[in-house]
Structure 1
């Protein structure tokens, strides 16, 4: 099956060009000047549209256990929603429970995802139980294509690791060339502040943000960077939200340390004011780290321009308002932490292009090319080039849309961006050469996606 995408503007992390793209089977066969290619089985006219590599969301949580419940998107519903939004690869997290092995954890997540994904997928491994067996199993995970390991400085008693445990895992990462991903918040101090607020009768959702101040994200980020420096380990800070944390990352990167960071759309567009909405509405916006004061947004956009923030992911972890968020109706500490977003990442970041915050090239770089390189998928993913998987998005930069829970495809009963009016919209999506989203709607299948064994981080110096 040969598909010709003609007349579009092909976007890459290094530039743009008007070109035709020839797809043969699951791969991109060639990219050439308009009119070079002959006949094809199917022709897609992309005149006036962008032709860009499919998005890679390197931080999602499908069917994740948290606080006695599970995030509401299955791998089937979540990856379908991702496809609607132009994301053609996700990297989800296999969550080690205390007392279990990494191998049994990986097996469990394969059971959840295999044969149930509309797009290709990989896994990171969450380490919550550091011991000799776990450290040894990091090597076998790498052999199985899971080359990054997430740890937590937050959530004592659940995911939290001590500095000593983090140091041991970082030493193994240095030995193997793998990457440690860090949820950097000072969970010990945060739990004290949260307990004090609750004891004082402060139970409303905004307390979640007030008891997780940005200084404690900055402190934990700095501490993680120092541990990485001592061990020589690569470090990737997940879902960075605060200017204090960004300053620590920038300082380390300026010194030549292998430190990287991502942010998420919610930190670019939403704020703690949303958590303070009347009644219990603010619970819809409870995630960790929390939404910050709007002043932090300026710094985050600047961080994206300077590459101190290398990637934009979603931390997609949806909990329904009606029957899950309400678990914390009388205690903000019990509100399930997480927000939906996998469907709208590409569109929301395009607003940064529209507003002049970032360039087209940076849009592609942060949403596709850099995560492909960072997590061992490039050049198979993240680029429009001969030999790459034909994961292609045809994007209409002039289309208008309004985000709403009534029209999104995520399996959650609210939108964090309800009523947002956006410029630009995904028109057609190909996953490994198959059209999965078009004017006809979703035409893919939840058996289409394949597990991706990943190589090591390509940015390590």
Structure 2
């Protein structure tokens, strides 16, 4: 089957041009100038009119947690529901995290995640590996996983007794990555200090959701980020700092990058738009003060008065925020977030955004915060390079997978769970309820198959395939 996408403006990370895109089967085979004489010789099976619209690579969300166990419950999106929601929002590839906790074998967990995702995904998927227990066996597994297309490994400086690795363990994992070419991903918060602050707050009777963020201050994030940067410098390992929310932590990342170190920063839509101030004032008839639990995530939201949100947009433009992912880890209010009523420390940490990332970042284009090209760069192209997918993913070019989004800048998207609003994640609330977006995802192709059109989702469970990743293509 051949598909011709006509009349649109193809946007890449480096520029925009009017071009028609020809797809044969699952692959892009040509970009043609509008009115090209070559078009006269082509009879496409399907023609998509993209006049007045942007044609961009399918989005790559490099940080999701489908069906992830956490705090006595499990993320509410399955691989089926979560990837379907992603398709609605123009994301055509996710990179999810296999979780190894204490007492578990890495390879057993990889097999479990393949079982969870296999045959269930609407879009293509790949895996990172969480190393929750650094020992001789897991270090050996890191080497083995490189050959299986799992080439990045996440460690934690937070969650003592669950995921936290000591500095010595981090050095061992970094040394292994420096030797095998893998990428170290790091959750940077000083977990031991945070645990003390949490206990002190609870003893003072400060139990509401707002205090989740107060007890995870920016200093704890900056300190851990600095420590991770220094350990990476010591070992020569590349470092990717996940979900950065504090401007001070990003300043440290920028400093390391200016010195020529392979250090990269990721942020998420919630840190660009949401803040502690809104969480403080959140209340509802149904949930009362627990309403703020909808926005409990780690790292936490930051104070708007301190200027974190504006600083993060600036760091996107300087390139020190390398990618924008979601850290999609959804939980329902009923039976999940409400576990933390009266004790914020028991609220499952996570926000659901996999469906809305492309739209929310396009709003930044509309508002003049970033360029069209930067939008494509941080949402599509650099994630592909960062995670060893570029060439196949993240670009509209001959030979690449036909993962393509037709985006209407004159369209409109209303986010929320009410009638006429966009929300297809498996959650009983939306963290983005009432948000209005000046743009709209019209058509989504995954490997040449239309999975979303103007009538809605037309994809199917099982279309998505596991993608083996190469080593990061973004290192200097």
User: Shorter-normalised TM-score: what interval?
Assistant: over 0.9
Tell whether the 8 Å contact from 1:5 to 1:46 is kept in structure 2 after alignment.
Answer: yes
Q: Which residue of 1 aligns with 2:190?
A: 186
Aligned to 1:168: 172
Does residue 48 in structure 1 map to residue 40 in structure 2?
no
| Residue of structure 2 aligned with 1:380, choices 359, 371, 392 | 392
Mapped partners of 1:65, 1:227: distance in 2: 29
SS of the equivalent of 1:353 reads helix
Gapped regions of structure 1 (runs ≥ 5): none
In the alignment, what sits opposite 2:82?
78
Give SS of 1:293's match.
coil
Q: Structure 1 length normalisation: TM-score?
A: 0.99
Q: How many residues align?
A: 461
Residue 440 (structure 1) shift: 2.3
Distance 1:155 1:275 in 2: 23
1:79–1:118: 8 Å Cα contact kept in structure 2? yes
Kindly report which structure 2 residues correspond to 1:406-421, keeping only aligned pairs within 5 A, or say none: 406=418, 407=421, 408-421=423-436
Match of 2:224, SS state, is helix
What is the rounded CA distance, in whole Å, between the counterparts of 1:148 and 1:383 in structure 2?
21
In structure 1, distance between residues paired with 2:466 and 2:413:
32
Which position in structure 1 is the counterpart of 2:411? 399
Asked if residue 138 in structure 1 is aligned to residue 142 in structure 2, the reply is yes
Equivalent position of 1:290 in the other structure: 300
Q: CA deviation at 1:100?
A: 1.4
Aligned residue runs from structure 1 range 205-284, under 5 A: 205-276=209-280, 277-278=282-283, 279-284=289-294
Kept after mapping to 2: 8 A contact 1:274/1:285: no
1:363-396 alpha-carbon deviations (Å, 9 max, x no partner): 0000000000000001100000000000000000
SS in 2 for 1:160: coil
Aligned equivalents of 2:136, 2:414: Cα separation in 1: 51
Counterpart of 2:7?
7
Unmatched runs of 5 consecutive residues or more in structure 2:
284-288
Alpha-carbon distance in 2 for matches of 1:402, 1:14? 30
Q: Which residue of 2 aligns with 1:434?
A: 449
The DSSP-based 3-state class of the residue aligned with 1:280 is helix
Task: Provide the C-alpha distance between the structure 1 equivalents of 2:475 and 2:16, rounded to a whole number of angstroms.
Answer: 27
Shift of 1:132: 0.5
Q: Does 1:313 align with 2:317?
A: no
Is 1:62 equivalent to 2:77 in the alignment?
Answer: no
1:26 is aligned to: 26
Q: Distance in 2 between matches of 1:452 and 1:383?
A: 16
How far apart are the structure 1 equivalents of 2:6 and 2:431?
36
Cα distance, 1:430 vs. partner? 0.2
Q: Which shifted more, 68-77 or 32-41?
A: 32-41
Q: Which residue in 1 is equivalent to 2:466?
A: 451
For residue 95 of structure 1, give the secondary structure of its aligned residue in structure 2. strand
2:94 corresponding residue in structure 1: 90
> Which of residues 328, 352, 364 in structure 1 aligns to 2:340?
328
Q: Distance in 2 between matches of 1:405 and 1:209?
A: 26
Q: Tell me by how many angstroms 1:275 deviates.
A: 2.3
**Residue 90 of structure 1: how far off its partner (Å):** 0.1
Structure 1 CA distance for aligned equivalents of residues 474 and 382 of structure 2: 9
Please, which of 106, 109, 118 is the counterpart of residue 105 of structure 1? 109
Q: 1:26, 1:389 within 8 Å by CA — same for their partners in 2?
A: yes
Q: Distance in 1 between matches of 2:228 and 2:34?
A: 50
SS across alignment from 2:149 = coil
Q: Structure 2: how far apart are the matches of 1:137 and 1:42?
A: 46
CA deviation vs aligned residue, 1:387-419 (integer Å, no higher than 9, x gap): 000000000001122211233100001111111
Q: CA deviation at 1:199?
A: 1.0
Residue 422 (structure 2) pairs with residue 422 (structure 1): no
> Which deviations, in whole Å up to 9, do the C-alpha atoms of 1:47-97 show, x marking residues without a partner?
000000000000000000000000000000000000000000000000002
Tell me, in whole angstroms, the C-alpha distance in 1 between the residues paired with 2:391 and 2:265.
21
> What is the deviation of 1:459?
1.7
Q: Give the CA deviation at 1:34.
A: 1.2
Offset of residue 196 of structure 1: 0.4
Report the alpha carbon displacement of residue 441 of structure 1 after superposing the two structures with TM: 1.5
SS of alignment partner, residue 51 of structure 2: coil
Q: Aligned-pair distance for 1:101?
A: 1.4
Return the alpha-carbon distance in structure 1 between the equivalents of residues 177 and 341 of structure 2.
Answer: 41
Instruction: Determine the structure 1 residue equivalent to 2:121.
Output: 117
C-alpha distance in 2, partners of 1:311/1:339? Answer: 18
Q: What is the CA distance between 1:217 and its match in structure 2?
A: 0.2
